[in-house]
Amino acid sequence: MSDPNTQGILATPKGAPTRIVSLDQFRGYTVLGMFLVNYLGSFAACPKILLHTHDYISYADTIMPHFLFAVGFSFRLTFGRRAQKEGLAAANWHMIRRMLGLVLVSIVIYHSGPPAETWAKLTEKGVGGILPNLLKREWFQTLMHIAVTSLWILPVIRSTAGVRIGWMVFSAALHIWLSYWFNFEWSNGSGPFEGTGNGIDGGPLGFLTWTTPAILGTLACDAVAGAEGRPNLWKMVGWSIVIMAFGWLISCGTRIYDVPESVVEAQIQESIEVKKRENEEQKDIPEKDRKYSKRPELQKIADNPVIPSKEELQAHMEKEDLSQWLAEPPFVPPPHSWDPPKLKEGETPGRGGFMGWLLDPNYRPENNAHMYRKWNYWMMSQRGGTLAYLVFSGGFSLFVYVLFYVVCDIWGWSLGVFRSFGVNALAAYILHAMVGGAIKPFVTKDAPGWYVTASVILFFLINWIIIRHLEKQKLFLKL
């Protein structure tokens, strides 16, 4: 069932522009943001806000939701026009072919190292020992999530706003249930899945929550392309704030998993005593070969990460201070994320602050947040593809897009660099990994900030020269 209120987006009026400038600029900005976080994340000098730390939403975590938002926007726009021109069956089959092609491209791009060194070890592992890691981490990255999420929302892409929102809510509810059943622990390699490795971007079931920014993108398309004249931007801003606030409220559930400092200190002291005893028992064994008990304070994942136990809920309900119920604001890391590093005997503190980043990145704070708050489903986590993260970031994507609409489609401003990367995003995505691979061998992980910054500029410049040349030659990589 199509939406009668947005029939205008199903066909392009004569003389109308074939592209929406703000969408191209938004997509180009997102590509450049991806370049920044993907390249810098390899180095010690990378600022924390540009890292994926999996326990709060950083700037780095806003990039992929922007992609899904843009995908939903353009999907709603182009699919409706194709269905109007060629018929619904042809449009559906065209989209299925495109997304299966993107799946194939994803598998080729996201190749991993050999799972075994010999034929005997390969056959010993078998499909069951190889495929789970490929699905959980290697293959299911940005392009694969775009493909699978697009296929998931295909049945409702022409439906009314109410149907699409209902599909989004259903997907979120299904994700919560599957996370409770197994998916959250599986994606984080914990509980019964310990030792199986970590996932990325929510793993193969992440599309259920990546549906949120994609559906919000379709709704933004309705508001912009379906409007007579200028869209109601204040309404769009208002909804973006409501959605972001709702995502943050969901994340407040993470406070259930706080661990009192007194408990952590007792655990640390007990671990010290246990290690002393174990060292004494293994004094005849070389230190590198000794085995130690697990330290409880270092356990990252909560025992009941999705549905807390009665005891945990009761302890949470007994908190009297409102501040103990509220999560940190978005972009603010949890407590103990910047603890001073522990120095070895005879070691002197390095230079801190900006000059430390610029000249000596080795003296870095320690992230001990997991000791004081165990990882759980309700925190904002890109690795887990959690609901709070995708709801907030979906609203944030809508807010950022409105800014681009004002600047580009109302004020008439645009940047050529955003246009170049925005209209050739897939080529840029594939290219940036190759360019990074050519530069990174000459930039050590402990390089100072000034050297890393110089390499970033070179990285951006090479990418831009190639993408700009492709644009001049009218060569665009599309699926």
Q: How many C-alpha atoms does 313 have within 13 Å on its Cβ side? A: 7
The DSSP H or E segment spanning 114 is none
Which of the pair, 119 or 171, is modelled with greater confidence? 171
- The string of pLDDT tens digits covering residues 234-286 is 999 999 999 999 999 999 999 999 998 888 888 888 877 887 888 888 878 88
The pLDDT, as a whole number, for residue 94 is 93
The pLDDT, as a whole number, for residue 345 is 57
- Average pLDDT on 135-139 reads 83
Model confidence pTM above 0.75? yes
Chain position carrying tokens 């074939």: 18
- The string of pLDDT tens digits covering residues 69-102 is 999 999 999 998 888 889 999 999 999 999 999 9
Are 355 and 155 contacting, i.e. CB atoms less than 8 angstroms apart?
no
Q: With 70 as the cut, is the pLDDT of residue 361 above it?
A: no
Binning pLDDT at 50, 70 and 90, where does residue 48 land? Answer: confident
The pLDDT, as a whole number, for residue 430 is 92
Cα 244 to its chain centre, rounded Å, is 16
Distances (CA, A) of 305 to 105, 171, 176, 189, 388: 34, 19, 11, 13, 14
The pLDDT, as a whole number, for residue 354 is 52
* CA pair distance 270, 457, nearest whole angstrom: 48
Give CA angle at 132 (129, 138), nearest 5°: 115
The pLDDT, as a whole number, for residue 332 is 93
Mean pLDDT of the chain: 88
- The 10 Å Cβ neighbour count of residue 324 is 11
Binning pLDDT at 50, 70 and 90, where does residue 338 land? Answer: confident
Lookup: tokens for 476 = 């665009």
- The 10 Å Cβ neighbour count of residue 478 is 9
Least confident of 5-14, 23-32, 301-310: 5-14
Which of the pair, 146 or 276, is modelled with greater confidence? 146
Q: With 60 as the cut, is the pLDDT of residue 369 above it?
A: yes
